[in-house]
Structure 1
Amino acid sequence: MASGTVSSQKQHSTLLHLFAGGFAGTFGAICTSPLEVLKTRLQSSRLAIPDPPTWWWFYYRRRKITSTSRLPEVVKVLKLILEKEGVKTLFRGFGPNLIGVAPSRAVYFACYSKAKDHLNGIFMPNSYTVHIISAGSAGFVTNTLMNPLWMIKSRMQLGLQEKGSKGINTVQCARYIYQENGISGFYRGLTASYFGIFETVICFTIYERLKKWLTETPLTLSANGTNKNSASANFFKYMAAAAIARMLASFVGYPHEVLRTRLREEGNKYRSFTQTVYLIAQEEGLLGFYRGLCAQLIWQVPNTGIVLSTYELIVLLLKDFND
C-alpha cells in the first residue's frame, strides 16, 4: 500500500512539472515571439554586417548621430521588416512555435525535475553535479525530440515575402523541407543544438544557485502576521535569478545559435557543423559567431525570466493547493 502511494505521488509530481513547464513555455513564447524573429533574422547569413558593439547607445548619443544608416542592427532590421513585409512578419513561425513550445518545455522540465530527484539520491543533494547532469540530460532529450518543429519555425522566420502577400503555412513549409532534403532535412542544426546544451547547463547551474541564495532569507512577518515570503515575492526573485543566469550563459554559449540558424537556412551553402564553423570564420571572422547577440539578449533574457518564474510559481501554487 505504501509503495502504491509513493508511486502515485511520483506520477503526480511528473504531471505537475509537465503542466507547469508547458504552460510557462507557452506564456513566454506569446510574450516574446517578435523578438525571436528579429534574433533569427540577425543570425542569418543574409545580413552579413557585424553588429554594433553592445555600448552602441552611449556611442551614438555622444556623437549625436541620427542617420538611419547608423542605427543599431536590431532597429534597422525591425524597420526593414515593418516597411517591406508588415507587422505580421514579426509573428512568422508562431504556429510551430506555439505547437512545439508547450511539449518541449513540458518534456524539459519533467526530465530535469525527474533527473534531479534521482541524482539527489546518488550525489550530494542539489550540488553542481546534480544540476549539470540534470540540465544536460533534459536538454539532450528535448533537442532530439523537438528539432523537426524548430527547423520548420526557423525556415518560416527566415522566409522573406512582400508586404500584404500570403506566406506559407506550417504544413506547406514542412512539405517543402521534406521535398528538399527528405527526413534528414528536419534534423538540420541538431548538432549545433547539442553543443547548445552547454549553454543550458551553465544557465541552470547559475539559476539554481541564485534561486537558493535569493529565497533562503530569514522568514519575516508583516504587521498582520502574514509571511512576507509570499508566492508573488518569490515570483520576482525567480525572474531575477533566471534573467541573470541566462544573460551570463548567453555570452559563453551563444555561437551555437548562429551555427544552428545557418544550418537551417535554405540552400546548401552550410552543409555540416564543422564546415559551417570554417565558413563563418573565413568570411566574417570571430564577430560572425556573435551576430545578433544584442537581439538574442533582448529576446532570451526576458523569455527565460518569464518561463522559469512562471514555472516555479505554478509548481509552488499547485503544491500548496494539493497540500
Structure 2
Amino acid sequence: MNQRDPLIHLFAGGMILEKEGPRSLFRGLGPNLVGVAPSRAIYFAAYSSSKEKLNAVLEPDSSQVHMVSAGVAGFTAITATNPIWLIKTRLQLEARNRGERRMNAFECVRRVYHSDGIRGFYRGMSASYAGISETVIHFVIYESIKQKLVQSKTSSNMDAEEDSVKYASDFIALMLAAATSKTCATSIAYPHEVIRTRLREEGTKYRSFFQTFSLVISEEGYRSLYRGLITHLVRQIPNTAIMMATYELVVYLLDG
C-alpha cells in the first residue's frame, strides 16, 4: 500500500456520490443489519462452547485451544450466514445511474436463485473459509494480550483504586487489545476479502478460490490483493474493539 491509497478511496467515494447519489453509499445495509446479530450470536456461542470443551481436554486457555475454538466458530458462522453476505455484496456491487430504481434484497434473492439455484447463495464461501485464518490469528493474539493484561493487573497494586476506575481501565485495555489483534490479523489475511468479493460478483470470469487468486495476480499484480485495505480497517477496527470489550463485559456479568 502507498500513501495515495486513502486519496484513491476518497476519489472512488466521490465518483459514486456524483453518479449514483448519497443513497448509494448505504447499499446492502438491510442484509448487513439482518446478518450481524445472528452471525455474531452463532460465532460467539460456537467459540465459547468449543473453548469450554477443549479446556477440559487440552491445556486450559492455551494457544491450541484458542486456535481450534476460533476455527470452529468461524466455520460455523460462515456456513450458516453466507447467503446473507452474498446478497449484501451483490447489492453493493449493483451499478446504476442517479434516479434509476434500485434492486431490493428480495429481488436480488430471486435473481440469484433464478441464475444459479441454491448453490448460487454459497458463492465465495471457499474464500470465507480461507478467511478463518484471520479469525484464528485475531483470537490467538487477543487472548495472548488479554492474559498479559490479567497478569499485569494481578501483580500490580490495584486494590487501592475504586471499582469504577478499575472497570473503566479494563474496558479500555480490552478495546485496545482487540484493535491491535484485529489490525494484525486483517493485514495478514486481507487477500481473502478481495477474492471473496470477486467470486460474489454476478456473471464474472471468477469461478473458484485458487483460479480467482491466480487470475487477479496475473492480470492486476500482487498489490491488487490489498485493494480497499485502509477502508476495511477503518470499518473493522472500532467495530471489533467495541464488540470484543462488550462480549467480555457480558461474560463477566453472567459469571457474576
TM-score range, shorter chain: over 0.9
The 3 A distance-change label for structure 1 pair 121 and 176 is same
Greater RCO structure (CA 8 Å; 6+ sep): 1
Measured in 2, the distance between the counterparts of 1:91 and 1:107 equals 25
Opposite residue 68 of structure 2, the aligned amino acid is I
Match of 2:222 in 1: 286
Match of 2:92 in 1: 157
The 3 A distance-change label for structure 1 pair 222 and 81 is farther
Mean Cα deviation higher: 241-250 or 160-169: 160-169
Measured in 1, the distance between the counterparts of 2:245 and 2:232 equals 19
Within the alignment, does 1:260 sit opposite 2:173 as a pair? no
The 3 A distance-change label for structure 1 pair 283 and 228 is same
The number of residue pairs the alignment matches comes to 253
Within the alignment, does 1:135 sit opposite 2:60 as a pair? no
Measured in 1, the distance between the counterparts of 2:83 and 2:253 equals 33
Deviations 1:82-104 (A, max 9, x none): 22222222221111111111011
The 3 A distance-change label for structure 1 pair 100 and 153 is same
Opposite residue 195 of structure 1, the aligned amino acid is A
Deviations 1:88-143 (A, max 9, x none): 22221111111111011100000000100111111111000000000001111111
Measured in 2, the distance between the counterparts of 1:97 and 1:294 equals 20
Opposite residue 190 of structure 2, the aligned amino acid is Y
Within the alignment, does 1:274 sit opposite 2:210 as a pair? yes
Measured in 2, the distance between the counterparts of 1:315 and 1:86 equals 43
Opposite residue 126 of structure 1, the aligned amino acid is D
Q: How does 1:280-319 map to 2 (within 5 A)?
A: 280-319=216-255
Measured in 1, the distance between the counterparts of 2:163 and 2:46 equals 35
Opposite residue 246 of structure 2, the aligned amino acid is T
Within the alignment, does 1:202 sit opposite 2:137 as a pair? yes
User: 1:215–1:234: 8 Å Cα contact kept in structure 2?
Assistant: no
User: 1:222–1:228: 8 Å Cα contact kept in structure 2?
Assistant: no
Match of 2:186 in 1: 250
Match of 2:169 in 1: 233
- Deviation, structure 1 residue 233: 2.4
- Deviation, structure 1 residue 56: 4.2
Match of 1:213 in 2: 148
Measured in 2, the distance between the counterparts of 1:154 and 1:107 equals 21
Opposite residue 235 of structure 1, the aligned amino acid is F
The 3 A distance-change label for structure 1 pair 311 and 86 is farther
Secondary structure of 2:131's counterpart equals helix
Which structure 1 residue ranges, 5 or more long, are not aligned?
1-51, 58-70
Measured in 2, the distance between the counterparts of 1:283 and 1:307 equals 37
Measured in 2, the distance between the counterparts of 1:162 and 1:214 equals 52
- Deviation, structure 1 residue 228: 3.5
Q: CA RMSD in A?
A: 1.8
Mean Cα deviation higher: 232-241 or 119-128: 232-241
Match of 1:7 in 2: none
Within the alignment, does 1:144 sit opposite 2:69 as a pair? no
Secondary structure of 2:166's counterpart equals coil
Which structure 2 residue ranges, 5 or more long, are not aligned?
none
Identity of aligned residues (%): 48
Deviations 1:58-80 (A, max 9, x none): xxxxxxxxxxxxx7121111211
